[in-house]
Amino acid sequence: MSGVAIIGKPNSGKSLLFNTLTGLNQKVTNFPGITVDIKKGMHEDVELIDFPGMYSFNSTTKDESVAIKKFEQFLNEKKISLVLCVLDATNLKASLTIGIDILKRANESGITTVFALNLMDEIESNKLSIDIDSISQELNSKIFPVSAKTGLGLAELKKYLIAKDYSNFNKILKSEETSFKQAQKISDNFGIKTDVLFLKQTRLDKFFLSPVLGLFSFILIMLILFQSIFTWSVPFMDFIELIISNLGEFVTSFMGDGIVKDFTAEAIFGGIGSFLVFVPQIFFLTFIVSFLEDSGYLARAAMICHKPLKFFGLSGKSFIPFLTGHACAIPAIFAARTIGSPRRRFITILTVPLMSCSARLPVYALLISAIIPTTTYFGGFIGLQGISFFLLFALGIVMALVVAVLISKSKATQKISDAPFILELPSYRLPNIKTLIIKSLQTTWSFVAKAGGIIFTVTVIVWILGYFPNGAGHLDDSFLSYLGKVIEPFMAPLGLDWKYGVAILASFLAREVFVGTLGTLFGIEMADENMVDLVSSIQDSGITFASGLALLVFYAIALQCASTLAVMKKELGSWKAPIYIFIGYSVVAYILAFITYRLFV
């Protein structure tokens, strides 16, 4: 079955249109040999393929070049039967330049191109107009005026897609002019006069890009971001904990005493259940970052950060991978492809793992809940636990900047070529909340599905070693305790016992395993206690404030993700840098954890 390619310039609302047409009926595809995400989804029986945005067929970034190559492959191999090119009605010239190039390429392959003129709601709300019929005649192509956000015009587009009558492909008028000149002429003659929209954007930019007010608003937005991860998610975490706890008691009530009941209570509900409690934080992190991106603010933040980041050997565009890294280091490393400078891209990739990714969130939330009081300020808007979250994220960022300086000053890095900082500022827009929720749910589920297999495997292994030979309640006489005692000398300087050492070792596969491992260990040790409330179990274990802080510092810096190292190797083409970074971050993490413990003991 041939699909419909959705393609266009970044910031044209292309992905929003794709999400609106497909809803939850979509998946992300990594084609063999590439790392660019190409989403596929269904609208009734029509397959839609969302390609990454691109500015031209003369790529300026690695990410764009791969996207172009894949799109041309789809055209040549007739894997698509229609090209749906998305145009930005508020910035017609820029989006039509690549649109005309796409039309020409598709025409050469005998494939029809139609255009979705998006963001028409902004045109109407500002009482502006576009001569759509004349543009359609110039391009010899159908044009559907739509708004992916409000649904304006989507009924007609859906009807066309479902009919599948794409046979009459267009023949663009012959012209010796470049695509840019053609787009400029069409935009000037038939598009909007952009003064109104430009003035609105300029007024907002005077505030958000101001040296003083812009910096203040940036710090405030980041503080709200990290505060909300903890505060907003608490009711949902409590609700999930209640469900898991009651479900665990209900399921085990039908089981007789023995190994099956112990495994279900301690490994399934004690281990995996403890991890699931912290999943809402991942949802809120994804939601807020996506909101900032879709609103147009992230590009402004990159502008604000360029001067200070340049001092550390980075680029303003490094800000976006850094912020993305707070969700997951893997897409953040891919996002570094948008950095035009090879040198600054190299430094960004090596420092991205220091961002506090979503896999660290369960660890942070668990330990902060166990050792930091629930004190709040300003009517409950700001809490001590939320501030602790912010400081941990800040620690990762500060460490990334320090490491960036050290790497940038090295002779090997100085030999890598550089390039100027160029950035497009998209229009300010109010994001579509429904789309953000869908995206956040998909990201959260993808994280849980990916982590679930690892957590289950590690939990089973830990449970078996901790349960035998004497059963529940005898953890100190288990096979696991014998192994744990071997590494306890490394934990003792941090005021921790062997159980935390085992959890740290297990989490080198994936950081989030730490929570499930502790849940299983405390489940076996306190078999008759609450099987889900891991925070209480940690508090009852006698962990000190100094030891808890040491653990938090260790997890804020250590690189404990095998997948991140593999992706880093693929992007850099060698294992040399990833191995050095893994060893270096692990050693520094332990040293700083030890210093922290000694300061607060």
Domains of the chain: which residue ranges? 3-193
Confidence of residue 37 (pLDDT cuts 50, 70, 90): low
Instruction: Scan for tokens 């695509």, then name that residue.
Output: 179
Lowest mean pLDDT segment, chosen from 18-22, 32-36, 138-142, 454-458: 32-36
pLDDT in tens, 318-331: 887 888 788 778 77
Distance between CA atoms of residues 4 and 230, nearest Å: 41
Instruction: Scan for tokens 């891209």, then name that residue.
Output: 345
pLDDT in tens, 226-247: 677 667 777 888 888 889 888 8
Q: What's the pLDDT at 36?
A: 52
pLDDT in tens, 69-94: 888 889 988 889 999 999 998 888 88
Q: What's the pLDDT at 175?
A: 65
Distance between CA atoms of residues 146 and 88, nearest Å: 10
Q: What is the mean pLDDT of residues 466-493?
A: 82
Instruction: Scan for tokens 């492959």, then name that residue.
Output: 73
Side chain identity at residue 54, one-letter code: M
Query: Percent of the chain, pLDDT > 90?
Result: 22
pLDDT in tens, 98-117: 999 999 999 888 899 999 99
Of 496, 513, 511, 497, nearest in space to 462 by CA? 513
Q: Which of the listed CATH numbers 3.50.50.60, 3.40.50.10860, 3.20.20.370, 3.40.50.300 matches domain 3-193?
A: 3.40.50.300
Confidence of residue 403 (pLDDT cuts 50, 70, 90): very high
pLDDT at 24 over 60: no
pLDDT in tens, 163-211: 888 876 666 556 667 888 888 899 888 888 766 566 667 788 888 888 8
Q: What's the pLDDT at 28?
A: 44
Decide: helix, strand or coil at residue 406: helix
Q: What's the pLDDT at 60?
A: 64
- Alpha helices, DSSP H, located in 56-112: 62-76, 92-108
Q: What's the pLDDT at 532?
A: 55
pLDDT at 421 over 70: no
Of 542, 526, 524, 531, nearest in space to 480 by CA? 524
Q: What is the mean pLDDT of residues 369-393?
A: 81
Pair of tokens at residue 59 = 């790529």
Q: What's the pLDDT at 203?
A: 80
Cβ within 8 Å of residue 482, ≥6 positions away? none
Of 77, 88, 81, 5, nearest in space to 41 by CA? 5
Decide: helix, strand or coil at residue 149: coil
Burial class of residue 226 in the structure, from the number of CB atoms within 10 Å of its CB (0-12 exposed, 13-18 middle, 19+ buried): buried
Distances (CA, A) of 409 to 9, 22, 40, 501: 36, 48, 43, 35
- Alpha helices, DSSP H, located in 478-575: 479-491, 498-506, 513-525, 534-540, 545-557, 562-572
pLDDT in tens, 501-534: 888 887 877 787 888 778 878 876 654 444 457 8
Confidence of residue 399 (pLDDT cuts 50, 70, 90): very high
pLDDT at 126 over 60: yes
Q: What's the pLDDT at 35?
A: 39
> What's 478's DSSP letter?
S
Distance between CA atoms of residues 165 and 330, nearest Å: 40
Q: What's the pLDDT at 153?
A: 92
> Which secondary-structure segment (H or E) carries 237?
helix 234-252
pLDDT at 34 over 50: no
Q: What is the mean pLDDT of the chain?
A: 82
Confidence of residue 258 (pLDDT cuts 50, 70, 90): confident
Confidence of residue 333 (pLDDT cuts 50, 70, 90): confident
Pair of tokens at residue 357 = 């990714």
Q: What's the pLDDT at 315?
A: 83
Q: What pTM was estimated for this model as a whole? A: 0.65
Query: Percent of the chain, pLDDT > 70?
Result: 89
Q: What's the pLDDT at 590?
A: 95
Q: What's the pLDDT at 170?
A: 62
- Judge contact between 50 and 29, C-beta under 8 A: no
pLDDT at 350 over 70: yes
